Structures are given as structure tokens and as C-alpha cells.
């Protein structure tokens, strides 16, 4: 009985990567064009769970918004906004901090990855991050969340929080949100290490393609990507145990909007020396226009700020009545 509504967000904690583009933003654009109401957020409150230089955070917030716009998100068809400009996220997050259990948080693998060996030094915010993410989603009664595979566990936790809230207060107030994890590139891996996710926070720039990379940088990173010495197979089964080959084919298929099976039908039998230039050409053709448009948009920061302000007003209007009703249910 909840009308379909899409929410997702990306942290302005560094430049956008090809992983963010294929795993998230491309899906955001697809869903914008599906006719369902869509909200896409710059989640700056998540970004500060690890240290962010204030000037860098301001710049990255604008750059991420420019990335959204350059990739095809349209403020007339999607609500594009900034998390910290909609206080209801933080207000609902506090209630969810009181609903979620410590044991649930202790199972979150992203916290373990990000906190590393010295978890005692991690911020309390990094630990509570999944409860804030649940609030981001549920403060709009969002039913669908397009994300990469690494966020699946957090969306499941969102459902656990909604279910416990509904149960504890004897209500059906919050929906059971579905993650939408689709396409050939739901987990883009590092170009230097096939066992690691491509990430904006990886210290090695050669490990990732940045959305701001120019044609030369994109080509050179793909040419230097780690691979094995074998030729490409003509069937998917031949990619078993070859994570680097699998990753490059996933990227190719996602950029070409096709499947890995179809790509292999064409390139099976080729060496990487032949395949990589094709992948580089495709990546440049798809990504260079976006990075050019991002650079153009970044010349007018006031315009970007105005897009976020207008979107945040619309988001506030949707969130305020849901927060108000939540307070009433809780007895506040």
C-alpha cells in the first residue's frame, strides 16, 4: 500500500569513480526515466563519519552534484538534494539509534572494513552510519533503493529497523524497502587488485577510473590494468578464477549496455592486448563527455548550490509529515 518511491545517495568523500557511475548513477538515471518518483541525495553527513577537510567537502559536494547532472539526472524529474539541508534525516536517525540493536551493528562488514584494525579509534558516527542510512531511506517511505552490491547489507538492516519499529509500536508505518542491485557492474573491482572494490578512498589512483579523468588518463589506466596472461574465453565459465578478466568484461558489458555473454561471443579468443584498446575506446566515448560537462558545470558553483537548495526544499516538504507522524507514534 506504499506508492513506489526511489531513494539513493552517494558520499561526497572524494571524486566519483567508475564504480559509483556503473553501480549507482547509471541506475539512478534509468529509474528516473521509469516514471517513479526519484530522490537522489548527496550524503554529506555520511561523509563526515571519517575526517573531511571542510573546503574539500564543500568542493566535493558540488562536484558530486555536477556528476549527477552531467550523467543525466534532471532536477525537473528527480529531487536532487543535500542530506544536511534536510534535518529530518538526523532527527529520524536518532529514533532509529534507539530501535537498532548493538548486535545488529556489530555484524556490519563495512564498519569492520572502514574502521580497520583499530576500531576503538573509529568515530561513533561511522558505527551508527547504517541507522542514519535507514533514516535517509525511510524518512521518504522509499520502497526501492538502487545501490551497488556493497550496500546490500545496509538495506537489509533498514528493513530490520523498519520491522522492529512497526512491531514495537504496533503499526505498519514504515515500508519494507527493496534494494535494486542490477546490471553487469554491481561490484566494479580495483584495476590493480581483482580482490578489492574500486573505491574513491583507495590510496592508489591507478586502481580506479575517476569521473574527472581525461581521455589519456582513462586509456592509460585501462592499458595498465592488471590481467592474467591467457586469452579471453568465449563462454562465461572460462572466467572462473580470473577476477581481473571478469572485472574488465563486466565494465565493458555495463558501458555497452549488454551482457558479458554477448561481449564474449564477440571477443572470445582475443588477447588482452587486443581487447584493452577496445575497452579504452568505449570507456572514453562514454565517460569523456560526462567529465567535460562536469567541468563546465563546476564553473558556476552558485548554480549548483541553487539546484541543491531547491531540491532540499522539496525533500523537506516530503520528509516533514513523515517525521511528525513518527514522533506521534513514539509518544513525543
Annotated binding-site residues for ATP read 11-13, 19-20, 148-150, 188, 197-201
Between 61 and 326, whose beta carbon lies closer to ligand ADP? 61
Q: Cβ 262 to Na ion, closest distance in Å?
A: 28
- Numbered residues of the known binding site for L-tryptophan: 136
DSSP conformation letters of 82-149 = EGGG-THHHHHHHHHHTTS-HHHHHT-HHHHHHHTT-GGGS-HHHHHHHHHHHHHHHTTT--EEE--G
CA distance 184 to 256: 10
For residue 71, what are the CA distances in angstroms to 11, 32, 250? 16, 12, 20
Q: From the CB of 109, what's the least distance to ligand ADP, in Å?
A: 13
Which residue lies nearer to ligand ADP by CB, 73 or 95?
73
Residue closer to ligand ADP, measured from CB, 112 or 296: 112
Rounded to whole angstroms, the Cα distance separating 171 from 328 reads 12
Q: Select which of 117, 200, 278, 286 is catalytic.
A: 200
CA 126 – CA 7 distance, rounded (Å): 21
Shortest Cβ distance from residue 24 to Na ion (Å)?
9
Count of residues near Na ion by CB under 5 A? 1
Give the strands of the sheet with 5-10, arranged side by side.
78-82, 37-42, 5-10, 144-146, 178-180
Instruction: Summarize the annotated binding site as residue ranges.
Output: 11-13, 19-20, 136, 148-150, 188, 197-201
Residue with cell 500500500: 1
DSSP-assigned letters across all residues of 9-23: EE--SS--BHHHIII
Alpha-carbon span 97 to 117, nearest angstrom: 24
- Nearer Cβ to ligand ADP (109/271): 109
If one counts every other C-beta atom within 10 angstroms of the C-beta of residue 243, the result is: 17
Q: Which stretch binds Na ion (CB under 5 A): 96-104, 147-155, 255-263, 292-300?
A: 147-155
Does the annotation mark 117 as catalytic?
no
User: Least separation, in Å, of the C-beta of 225 and ligand ADP?
Assistant: 14
CA 255 – CA 19 distance, rounded (Å): 11
Residue with cell 516530503: 318
Q: Which does 221 bind (CB under 5 to 8 A by kind): Na ion, ligand ADP, none?
A: none
Of the candidates 197, 221, 276, 286, the residue annotated as catalytic is 197
Q: Pick the piece of the chain touching Na ion (CB under 5 A) from 146-154, 182-190, 206-214, 215-223.
A: 146-154
Q: Which does 38 bind (CB under 5 to 8 A by kind): ligand ADP, Na ion, none?
A: none
147 is in the binding site of which of ligand ADP, Na ion, none (Cβ under 5 to 8 A by kind)? Answer: ligand ADP
Q: Identify what 312 binds: ligand ADP, Na ion, none; CB under 5 to 8 Å per kind.
A: none
Residues that bind ligand ADP (CB under 6 A): 10-11, 13, 17, 19-20, 23-24, 147-148, 150-151, 186-188, 197-201
CB of 140 to Na ion, least distance (A): 20
Catalytic site residue 114? yes
221 is catalytic: no
Looking at the Cβ atoms of 50 and 329, the one nearer to ligand ADP is 50
Catalytic residue among 112, 114, 152, 276: 114
Cβ-in-10-Å burial (0-12, 13-18, 19+) of 142 comes to: buried
As measured in angstroms, the least distance from the Cβ of 28 to ligand ADP is: 9
Grid cell listed for 329? 507514534
Helices of type H across 10-72: 18-20, 26-32, 44-47, 54-71
Active site residues: 114, 197, 200
Binding-site ranges for Na ion (CB under 5 A)? 150
Amino acid at each position: 500500500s506504499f506508492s513506489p518511491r526511489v531513494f539513493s545517495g552517494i558520499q561526497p568523500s572524494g571524486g566519483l569513480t567508475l564504480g559509483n557511475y556503473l553501480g549507482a548513477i547509471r541506475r539512478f538515471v534509468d529509474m528516473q526515466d521509469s516514471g517513479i518518483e526519484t530522490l537522489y541525495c548527496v550524503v554529506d553527513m555520511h561523509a563526515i563519519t571519517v575526517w573531511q577537510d571542510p573546503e574539500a567537502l564543500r568542493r566535493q559536494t558540488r562536484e558530486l552534484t555536477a556528476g549527477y547532472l552531467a550523467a543525466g539526472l534532471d532536477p525537473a524529474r528527480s529531487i536532487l538534494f543535500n542530506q544536511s539541508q534536510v534535518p529530518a534525516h538526523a532527527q529520524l536517525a536518532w529514533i532509529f539509534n534507539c530501535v537498532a540493536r548493538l548486535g545488529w551493528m556489530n555484524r556490519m562488514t563495512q564498519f569492520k572494513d572502514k574502521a580497520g584494525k583499530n576500531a576503538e579509534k573509529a568515530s561513533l558516527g561511522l558505527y551508527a552510519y547504517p541507522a542514519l542510512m535507514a533514516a535517509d531511506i525511510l524518512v521518504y517511505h522509499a520502497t526501492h533503493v538502487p545501490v551497488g552490491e556493497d550496500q546490500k547489507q545496509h538495506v537489509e538492516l533498514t528493513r530490520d529497523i523498519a520491522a522492529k519499529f512497526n512491531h514495537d509500536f504496533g503499526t505498519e508505518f514504515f515500508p519494507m524497502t527493496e534494494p535494486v542491485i542490477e546490471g553487469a557492474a554491481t561490484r566494479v573491482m580495483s584495476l590493480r587488485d581483482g580482490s578489492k572494490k574500486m573505491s574513491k578512498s583507495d590510496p592508489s589512483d591507478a586502481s580506479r577510473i575517476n569521473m574527472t579523468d581525461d581521455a589519456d588518463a582513462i586509456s592509460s589506466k585501462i592499458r595498465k590494468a592488471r590481467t592474467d596472461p591467457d586469452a579471453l574465453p568465449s563462454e562465461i565459465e572460462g572466467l572462473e578464477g580470473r577476477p581481473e578478466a571478469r572485472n574488465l568484461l563486466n565494465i565493458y558489458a555495463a558501458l555497452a549496455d549488454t551482457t558479458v555473454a554477448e561481449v564474449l561471443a564477440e571477443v572470445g579468443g582475443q588477447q588482452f592486448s587486443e581487447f584493452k584498446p577496445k575497452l579504452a575506446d568505449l570507456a572514453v566515448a562514454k565517460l569523456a563527455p560526462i567529465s567535460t560537462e562536469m567541468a563546465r558545470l563546476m564553473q558556476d558553483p552558485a548554480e549548483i548550490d541553487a539546484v541543491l537548495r531547491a531540491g532540499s526544499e522539496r525533500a523537506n516538504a516530503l520528509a516533514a509529515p513523515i517525521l511528525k507522524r513518527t514522533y506521534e507514534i513514539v509518544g513525543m
